[in-house]
Amino acid sequence: MLLKSAADRTPTLNEAVLAEQRPVLFRYALIKLRNAEWADDAVQETLLAAWQSATAFQGKAGLRTWLIGILKHKIADHWRRMEREVVTDVLDMGEIDMLENEDDDFFLGNGHWNGGPNTWQDPEAALKQQEFWAIYETCQNNLPAKMAQVFMLRELVGLEAEEVCRETGISDANYWVTMHRARLRLRECLEIRWFNSSQFNKESHHA
Amino acid sequence: MRNCREITELVSKGLDTPLGIGERLSIKLHVMMCSRCRNFLSQTQFIRKAARQYADQMFDSVKKSD
C-alpha cells in the first residue's frame, strides 16, 4: 500500500492544483503591477499558459517556482504592451548592500538598543481602525524599494524565505539582514506614527 | 550572552525559519529580563499579522470588484 501510494505521487497538473496557487500568484502580480485588474489579467494568462504547457512541468515541488517564472514573463509582456519607459526590474537586485552601515542607528556600539521599542497599548484594536491601515501603508511604502520587495514577497505574497531568495537573487545572509532591518524600520515607524501619537491623541481628548 | 541586536536578529530569523533549541532558549532568557526585546518580539508578530491582513484586504477588494 505504502509503496503504491508513493509511486502514485507522480506530479499531475489539474485545475484544482493550479487554482491553489492563484492567491499567491495574484499577490505577487499585485505588488509588481500595483493594479488589481492588470494583476488579475496576468494571473489568468499565467494559469492558461501553464495549463496549455502542462507537459513541460517537471514536478510538484517546483510548481510555484515554475508558475512564478511564467508570471514574470506575463508581467514583462504587460509592461511592453503598455509601452512604458524601461521599467527596471527591482526584483533582479543582486545583493542588497548599504545595510550593514545603515543598521547603526537602531543599536549602540555594544549591541544595546538606542531608544528601542516601547510598549504598545492594545495593538489588536488598531487592526480595526481605518486610519491605522493608512499609517501601515505609509510605513510599508517608506521602506527602501528593494527592502520593501523582499518584505512583501515574504509577508504579503506569503513565499517561504528560500523562495524569496530564489526570486530576488539575494543570498541567505542578505535575506536575514534585510528582513531584520525591514522589521526594525516598520516597527519604529508604526510606533512613531500610530502607537505613540494615538496615545497623545487620547490624552489631548481628555484635556 | 547575546546582546539586544543579536537577540532581535534571532527573533526576526525565527519568523522565517525554525530555530534550534539553544537559540529559542537564549531568546526566552533574554526577554525575561529585557522589556525592549520583549516588545520587539510581540511587535514583530503583530506586524506579521497586520501584513497578512493588509494583503487579504487587497485581495478581497479585488474580488468584490469582479
pLDDT tens across A81-118, in order? 776 544 444 444 555 554 444 555 899 888 999 988 99
- Which pLDDT belongs to residue A206? 44
> Which segments within A47-121 are labelled E, that is strand?
none
Is A135 or A86 the better-scoring residue by pLDDT? A135
Q: Which amino acid is at A110?
A: N
When pLDDT is cut at 50, 70 and 90, the band that residue A155 belongs to is very high
**Which chain B residues in 37-56 lie under 8 Å from chain A, judged by CB atoms?**
37, 39-40, 43-44, 46-55
CATH 3.30.450.40 fits A2-82, yes or no: no
Contact A74, A150 (CB under 8 A): no
Q: How many domains does chain B have?
A: 1
- A113: DSSP letter: B
ipTM of the complex: 0.94
Residue A29's contacts (CB-CB under 8 Å, 6 or more residues apart) are A38, A39, A40, A42, A43, A71, A74, A75
Separation CA A160–CA A130 (nearest Å): 29
Residue B31: which pLDDT band, with cuts at 50, 70 and 90? very high
- Domain extent for B48: 4-65
Give the contacts of A36 (CB within 8 A, at least 6 positions apart).
Answer: A30, B58, B61, B62, B65
Which residues belong to CATH 1.10.1740.10 in chain A? Answer: 2-82
Mutate: best of A32, A102, A180, partner B, most B CBs <10 A: A180
Residue A107 φ/ψ, nearest 5 degrees: -130, 150
Count of other CB atoms within 10 angstroms of residue B3? 17
Are B62 and A40 inside 8 Å of each other by CB?
Answer: yes
CA-nearest of A75, A41, A187, A58 to A120 is A187
Instruction: Answer yes or no: is pLDDT of A146 > 70.
Output: yes
C-alpha cell at A200: 497623545
Question: Percent of chain A having pLDDT more than 70?
Answer: 77
Fold annotation for A99-206? Arc Repressor Mutant, subunit A (1.10.10)
CA A13 to each of CA A20, A21, A23, A30, B40: distance values in angstroms, whole numbers, following the listed order: 11, 12, 17, 24, 43
pLDDT(A202) > 80: no
The full length of chain A comes to 207
Note whether A133 contacts B54, CB cutoff 8 Å: yes
Return the closest-CA partner of residue A170 out of A179, A116, A23.
A179
* Average pLDDT of the residues in A1-23: 64
Contacts of A31 in chain B (CB under 8 A): none
Half-sphere exposure of residue A151: CA atoms within 13 angstroms, side-chain side:
30
Q: For the residues B14-38, what does the mean pLDDT come to? A: 96
